[in-house]
Structure formats: structure tokens, C-alpha cells
Amino acid sequence: MARSSEVCRSNCPINFVLETFGDKWTLLIVRDLMFKGKRTYGEFLESDERISTNILADRLKRLEEHEIVEKTVAPDNRSKLIYSLTPKGKDLLPVMLEITAWSAKHDATTNTPNSFLDMFAAAKDKMMSAILSELE
């Protein structure tokens, strides 16, 4: 369904994700919703990466169209809109954790000081070796 609204380059699962998240900004919005407790347009604008207003509006619209994010009116203030992750959006959690683990392993400047992450990465190493040996 998501694919019907745009050009589809192939039926590969990796490509499917790229057609939604293949840019520098979309995944940051998911991150802010999932890990940083941000919920409004104004809060997304304040993130370190300094997304511009037109790009933010466009990406929120696309995320809604893909049913990854949904928008509701704040109960206490009708001029305030609350963005939140749908179940489909929340299902991205394992992807986000693997990305975080990879960055923590390969980038010294990344801020992810977490002892559980080390154990997580070590277990992943075993899994990766097992699968790679089967692929070769």
C-alpha cells in the first residue's frame, strides 16, 4: 500500500526501507520519538542536527502516509499536535538497536556508554560469524 503512492525501484526488502528512510533526516525523527521523548513539531526542530522547517514538515507528512507516525491534537491545547509512533513504527526498535550497536563499535566519538551494549555486541558477533560461514 505504501508503495502505490510512489516510484518503486524493486521488490527487495532493503530497497523497500530505503524508499522511506533513504535520506539524512527521516530516521532522526523516528529516533527522537523512540528514544528522546520528543512529540511535537517544535521539539523536533530543536534537535542537534538542526533540521529545517520545510524538510521537517515534508518528512512528517511522508511518515504519516507510510503509517509509521500518527498525529493527534493535544488534549490540553488545540493548537498543539502530538506525534507518536504507530505499531509499525515501534517495530523499528530492533533495527535502531543494531544501528546503535554498530556505531558504538565503529565510531569512537559516538555517545553510547552502556555496559549492556557491550554484551549485546559480543552476542551479535557470534551470530554474525555463524551466518557468514553459512553464506560463503
Partner DNA sequence: GGAGGTACTTGCATTTTGCAAGCATCTCGC
Partner DNA sequence: GCGAGATGCTTGCAAAATGCAAGTACCTCC
Measured from the CB atom, is 29 or 101 closer to DNA?
Answer: 29
Residue 11 binds which entry of DNA, its own copies, none, CB below 5-8 Å type-dependent: its own copies
Binding mask 76-115 for DNA (x = CB under 7 A): xxxxxx----------------------------------
Three-class secondary structure assignment of 65-117: HCCCEEEEEECCEEEEEEEEECHHHHCCHHHHHHHHHHHHHHCCCCCCCCHHH
Using CA atoms, how far apart are residues 56 and 69, in angstroms rounded to an integer?
Answer: 13
Read off the DSSP letter of residue 47.
S
Measured from the CB atom, is 78 or 126 closer to DNA?
Answer: 78
**Cβ contact 124:101 at 8 Å:** yes
Among the residue ranges 27-35, 70-78, 84-92, 109-117, the one whose residues contact DNA (CB under 7 A): 70-78
Q: What is the residue whose three cell numbers read 520545510? A: 54
Binding residues for its own copies, per CB under 8 A?
A: 2-3, 8-19, 22-25, 27-28, 31, 34-35, 47-50, 88, 90-107, 109-112, 119-120, 123-124, 126-128, 130-132, 134-135
